[in-house]
Amino acid sequence: MGRPMLLAAALSAVGTLPGAATAPDEATVVRSGALRGLSGASCAELGCNATYVPGRACQCNSMCGSLQICCADYEEQCSNITTLTATTPSPALTPAAGGVVPSVAPKDAMSYKGMAWADLSIAGIGEMHFFGIGDWGGLDGSLLPTGGRARLIVYKGGHTAGPHVFPRSRWNKDHSELLCSHDDFVQCYDTSGASCSSGCGFVEGVDTQPQQLVAAAFKERAAKNKPKFVVNVGDNFYWGGLEINCGSISATTQHQFDQVFEGIYSGPGLEGAPWLSVLGNHDWGGRVFNNGWDQQIAYTWASNRWVMPAPYWSQTVHFTDLGFSVDVFMIDSNAMDAKEPTEDPEHNLCSSLNNPSGASCSSAGGPPSVDECRDFFWGLWQEQQPW
């Protein structure tokens, strides 16, 4: 699956920010009247906010323009927060004592590679908890993709709100015998198990809502143990991450985050806990490299808990009253799924069979072409070694 690795003292996180919101040198970024307003709510009703507020049909904060999720009356009602002063980040950010939190998204998703995010200080004595999770994101069946993309619907009922499942084929332990093909599994879902191969092992109520069940256990434990942060190791959205092209801006980003993340992982014990995040191979696109991975990075600047400022980055956590600190290194190991264009099309980000003609993420700082894709990912992996 190309899962990002975790390093250092049992903790680790990674992230990266896309070029959704650009920041010219010492420039003033003004949200223009061209912003696409979303219907269903208004800033007059909701009020102007400094940060993203989960569960709203549209937003009234200074970053809503970068994701095109502003309410229709945003500029009229919130003129006092429509102007931001932006400065260009240092071209070579290095981990430093205390770290930094840039006030704006970088020029592209690679600008903050290797940065040290601002230190997190946690007071108190006694047992401390953090949670780890990965490979958690489902299909957003209610999404209506743009740009000619197909809806993420695999089986009957998959069009409804909330995360859905992509049924995977199942093999025996040695992976020598296919027990249940994808099509066999889909039939199980279509018939609620009434017509289903025994090799699929389908269980109604379990296979139909795995993310919800894990989230329920996650939230139950969070209410009890109150994790100080969450280490999120990738594969955040299936099948291929955010269903937009890299380098583009779309309300698709907010829709998928609302359906698959914001509306699923919330509640007592999780409020305010930062999600230290990285990209999995499915977040880059699974069998392609040109999906909206950069928008997951950009979401760092539109959320009060999602932290993914770059493909690889670091976080220091100080347990001030316990007298120790933890360095968390978030890395991107997706080079393991970056092969020659003609190889293994089902498990290859650089596949010439699955990537569209002319695929390029150069505007977001990513792979410029299918032919240069493998070198990009292995170069990204190699530059992390001395870091």
Q: What is the pLDDT of residues 155-200, one digit of tens each?
A: 999 999 989 999 989 999 999 999 999 999 999 999 999 999 999 9
- Residue 54, pLDDT above cutoff 60: no
pLDDT: is 141 or 53 the higher one?
A: 141
Identify the pLDDT of residue 249: 79
Identify the pLDDT of residue 68: 62
**Average pLDDT score over residue span 25-47:** 46
Residue that has been written with the tokens 């139950």 in this structure: 220
Identify the pLDDT of residue 78: 82
- Banded model confidence at residue 95, pLDDT cuts 50, 70, 90: very low
**Average pLDDT score over residue span 25-46:** 44
CA–CA distance, 136 with 70 (Å, rounded to integer): 28
* Radius of gyration of the chain, Cα coordinates, nearest whole angstrom: 21
Amino acid code (one letter) for 386: P
The pTM of the full predicted model, rounded to 2 decimals, is 0.76
pLDDT tens-place string over residues 312-335: 999 999 999 999 999 999 999 999
Query: Which of 104-118, 211-225, 301-315 shows the lowest per-residue confidence on average (mean pLDDT)?
Result: 104-118
Query: Which of 80-89, 196-205, 260-269, 303-312 shows the lowest per-residue confidence on average (mean pLDDT)?
Result: 80-89
Return the SS3 of 210: helix
Query: Which of 4-13, 118-127, 173-182, 337-346 shows the lowest per-residue confidence on average (mean pLDDT)?
Result: 4-13
Alpha helix segments (H runs only) across 131-209:
182-190
**Average pLDDT score over residue span 341-351:** 95
CA–CA distance, 192 with 194 (Å, rounded to integer): 6
Alpha helix segments (H runs only) across 32-181:
43-46, 64-67, 74-77
pLDDT tens-place string over residues 145-154: 988 899 999 9
- Residue 29, pLDDT above cutoff 90: no
Amino acid code (one letter) for 31: R
CA–CA distance, 120 with 190 (Å, rounded to integer): 47
Average pLDDT of the chain?
82
Identify the pLDDT of residue 74: 84
Instruction: Indicate the helix (H) or strand (E) that contains 271.
Output: none
- Banded model confidence at residue 72, pLDDT cuts 50, 70, 90: confident
pLDDT tens-place string over residues 247-298: 987 899 999 999 999 999 999 999 889 999 999 999 999 999 999 999 999 9
- Bridge pairing between strands 306-307 and 313-319: unpaired
Are 127 and 150 within 8 A, CB to CB?
no
The percent of residues in the chain predicted with pLDDT above 90, rounded, is 68
Q: Which of the residue ranges 10-14, 21-25, 157-161 has the most confident prediction, judged by mean pLDDT?
A: 157-161
Q: Which of the residue ranges 35-39, 52-56, 129-133, 267-271 has the most confident prediction, judged by mean pLDDT?
A: 129-133
- Residue 63, pLDDT above cutoff 90: no
C-beta neighbour count of 279 within 10 angstroms = 29
- Residue 299, pLDDT above cutoff 90: yes
Identify the pLDDT of residue 103: 73
- Banded model confidence at residue 381, pLDDT cuts 50, 70, 90: very high
Identify the pLDDT of residue 53: 60
- Banded model confidence at residue 47, pLDDT cuts 50, 70, 90: confident
CA dihedral 250, 271, 109, 370 (to 10 degrees): -70
**Average pLDDT score over residue span 345-368:** 96
- Residue 86, pLDDT above cutoff 50: no
Return the SS3 of 60: coil
CA–CA distance, 112 with 311 (Å, rounded to integer): 8
Half-sphere exposure of 8 (CA within 13 A, CB side): 16
- Which residues make Cβ contacts (< 8 Å) with residue 213, sequence separation at least 6? 206
